């Protein structure tokens, strides 16, 4: 009975969703996602183009200066662990990384949605029209747009590079050959982090 009730409810919801139009925010986010993951800008075809511009590049540079010494110490201590310790350390790291990824994704979607609504309200109130009506406002808007586009391009490029299925498979195979207990622990912890 419960299964039938669930399926009936799911069918009713899917029929009602098909008959309604998609809200503008969801349409905007879907379009933004499709564009960012599928289309590479013309300048990215150049081999020497740097995708680390904008805020994303600054964040990556700051993170690398902090992470490099920490990573060195962590590798030294990790290599001294037994196989069981490597499994537990991998599981803890996988669980933490997956929880961080889920929370970050949810907060990013919330922030983008709030920013979209805020900018729509500013546009409706006429504040953005006033900013575009002067040459200085045009220059500020152009710089802001370029900065945001460089940031989005850096994120897009890193996502396409790091989440490429072939690259993920090669990374897993390489790590399984090098450190099977830690990689298995990481996968187990990540699975539990996504499920719980």
**Two tokens, residue 152:** 């989005």
Mean local confidence (pLDDT), 119-125: 85
Share of the chain above pLDDT 90, in %: 15
Query: What pLDDT, on the 0 to 100 scale, is given for residue 30?
Result: 52
Query: What pLDDT, on the 0 to 100 scale, is given for residue 39?
Result: 41
SS3 (DSSP) at 41: coil
Q: How far apart are CA 163 and CA 59, in angstroms?
A: 19
φ, ψ of residue 81 to 5 degrees: the values are -75, 155
Q: Is-contact 86 182, C-beta < 8 A? A: yes
Task: Quickly tell me which residue has 């993951």 as its tokens.
Answer: 37
Query: What pLDDT, on the 0 to 100 scale, is given for residue 11?
Result: 44
Nearest residue to 112 (alpha-carbon basis) of 22, 31, 18, 194: 31
Mean local confidence (pLDDT), 125-138: 75
Q: How far apart are CA 189 and CA 196, in angstroms?
A: 10
To the nearest 10 degrees (0 to 180), the angle between helices 165-178 and 180-195 is 130
Give per-residue pLDDT as tens, 33-84: 544 444 444 444 445 556 666 777 787 888 888 888 888 888 889 889 999 9
Give per-residue pLDDT as tens, 74-121: 888 988 999 999 999 999 989 998 998 888 889 988 988 898 898 888
């Amino acid at each position: 009975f419960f299964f039938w009730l669930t399926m009936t409810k799911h069918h009713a919801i899917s029929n009602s969703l098909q008959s309604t139009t998609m809200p503008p925010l969801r349409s905007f986010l879907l379009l933004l996602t499709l564009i960012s993951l599928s289309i590479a800008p013309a300048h990215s075809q150049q081999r020497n183009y740097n995708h680390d511009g904008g805020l994303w590049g600054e964040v990556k540079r700051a993170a690398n200066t902090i992470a490099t010494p920490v990573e060195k110490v962590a590798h030294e201590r990790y290599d001294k662990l037994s196989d069981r310790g490597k499994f537990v350390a991998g599981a803890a790291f996988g669980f933490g990384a997956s929880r961080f990824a889920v929370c970050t994704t949810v907060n990013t979607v919330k922030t983008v949605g709030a920013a979209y609504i805020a900018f729509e309200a500013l546009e409706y109130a006429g504040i953005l029209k006033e900013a575009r009506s002067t040459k200085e406002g045009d220059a500020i808007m152009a710089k802001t747009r370029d900065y945001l586009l460089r940031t989005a391009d850096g994120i897009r490029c890193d996502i396409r590079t790091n989440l490429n299925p072939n690259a993920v498979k090669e990374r897993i195979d390489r790590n399984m050959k090098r450190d099977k207990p830690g990689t298995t622990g990481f996968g187990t912890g990540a699975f539990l982090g996504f499920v719980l």
